[in-house]
C-alpha cells in the first residue's frame, strides 16, 4: 500500500470519528448542570420535614347529634357504636316487627329465639306451647305498618335500648281444634298501637337487636 493510500484511510478514519462523536458523544437534552439545578430547585420548593399522616382524618371527631325526644340517647349510642344509624335501625325494626308477629302466630320458636331477649322468649314460648296443647291455631295478617317511630333511646353500662312506637293494621283470628273461631276475625282489620323496646350490648360482636318488652301505646 503506497503512502497516498495510507494517508487517505487515516484521514477517513479521523472524519468518521468526528462524525460519530457529533452524533453520539454530544450531550442531548438536559446537561448535568441542568439536572443539578433542577434538583436544587425541587428541594427548595419541597415542604420542610415530613407531613404527619392523620389516620383518623375520615372519622368524625364526635358522634353525630340527633334531635327530638330520643336525640340525646341516640347520640350516646352512636358514640359507643359508630355503625349505628337511626334510620337504618327504624327500617330494621319494621322488618323485625313483621318477623316476630308472623313467627309467633305460626308457633315458630326457632325463628323467634334470636329475635327476643331470654325473658321475652320464655313468655312467647310458653304461650305457643299452651296454644299447641289446646289444639288452637292462630292466624295473623299484617295489612300494613302505618308508622314506626323512635320515641326513646338510652345507653346504660354498654346496654343500648331503643323504643319504637308502632302503628299497624292487623287482622287476627284464633280457632280451636274443631276449627271454630275462639277470638278475633280475619275479615276485620284493627289498628294496633304498641311500643316495642329493643336492646343490644354495644360491645358485642353480634349486631342484632332483640325485643325486650312490648306495651300498649
* CATH number of domain containing 164: 3.10.450.240
pLDDT in tens, 114-151: 999 999 999 999 999 999 999 999 999 999 999 999 99
Confidence of residue 58 (pLDDT cuts 50, 70, 90): very low
Count up the domains in the chain and report the number.
1
Specify if 205 maps to a domain.
yes
Tell me if 55 is assigned to some domain. Answer: no
Provide the 3-class DSSP secondary structure of residue 187: coil
In this prediction, residue 70 carries a pLDDT of: 94
Task: Tell whether the model's pLDDT for residue 201 goes beyond 80.
Answer: yes
Report the pLDDT value the prediction gives residue 69, as an integer from 0 to 100: 84
Assigned domain for 95 exists: yes
Inform me whether the pLDDT recorded for 210 exceeds 90: yes
Band of pLDDT at residue 67, cut at 50, 70 and 90? confident
Identify the domain containing residue 137 by its residue range: 71-216
- How far separated are the first and last CA of the chain, in Å rounded? 124
Global pTM value? 0.70
pLDDT at residue number 182: 94
Helix (H, G, I), strand (E, B) or coil at 71: helix
Amino acid at each position: 500500500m503506497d503512502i497516498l493510500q495510507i494517508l487517505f484511510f487515516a484521514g477517513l478514519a479521523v472524519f468518521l470519528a468526528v462524525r460519530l462523536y457529533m452524533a453520539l458523544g454530544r450531550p442531548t437534552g438536559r446537561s448535568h448542570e441542568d439536572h443539578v439545578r433542577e434538583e436544587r430547585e425541587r428541594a427548595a420548593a419541597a415542604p420542610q420535614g415530613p407531613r404527619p399522616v392523620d389516620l383518623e382524618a375520615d372519622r368524625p371527631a364526635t358522634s353525630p347529634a340527633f334531635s327530638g325526644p330520643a336525640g340525646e340517647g341516640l347520640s350516646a349510642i352512636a358514640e359507643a357504636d359508630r355503625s349505628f344509624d337511626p334510620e337504618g335501625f327504624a327500617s330494621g325494626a319494621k322488618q323485625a316487627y313483621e318477623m316476630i308477629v308472623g313467627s309467633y302466630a305460626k308457633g315458630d320458636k326457632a325463628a323467634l329465639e334470636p329475635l327476643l331477649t331470654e325473658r321475652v322468649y320464655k313468655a312467647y314460648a310458653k304461650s305457643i306451647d299452651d296454644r299447641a296443647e289446646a289444639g288452637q291455631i292462630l292466624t295473623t295478617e299484617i295489612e300494613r305498618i302505618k308508622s314506626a317511630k323512635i320515641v326513646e333511646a338510652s345507653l346504660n353500662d354498654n346496654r343500648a335500648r331503643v323504643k319504637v312506637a308502632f302503628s299497624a293494621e292487623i287482622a287476627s283470628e284464633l280457632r280451636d281444634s274443631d276449627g271454630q273461631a275462639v277470638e278475633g276475625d280475619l275479615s276485620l282489620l284493627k289498628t294496633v298501637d304498641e311500643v316495642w323496646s329493643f336492646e343490644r350490648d354495644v360491645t358485642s360482636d353480634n349486631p342484632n337487636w332483640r325485643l325486650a318488652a312490648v306495651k300498649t301505646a
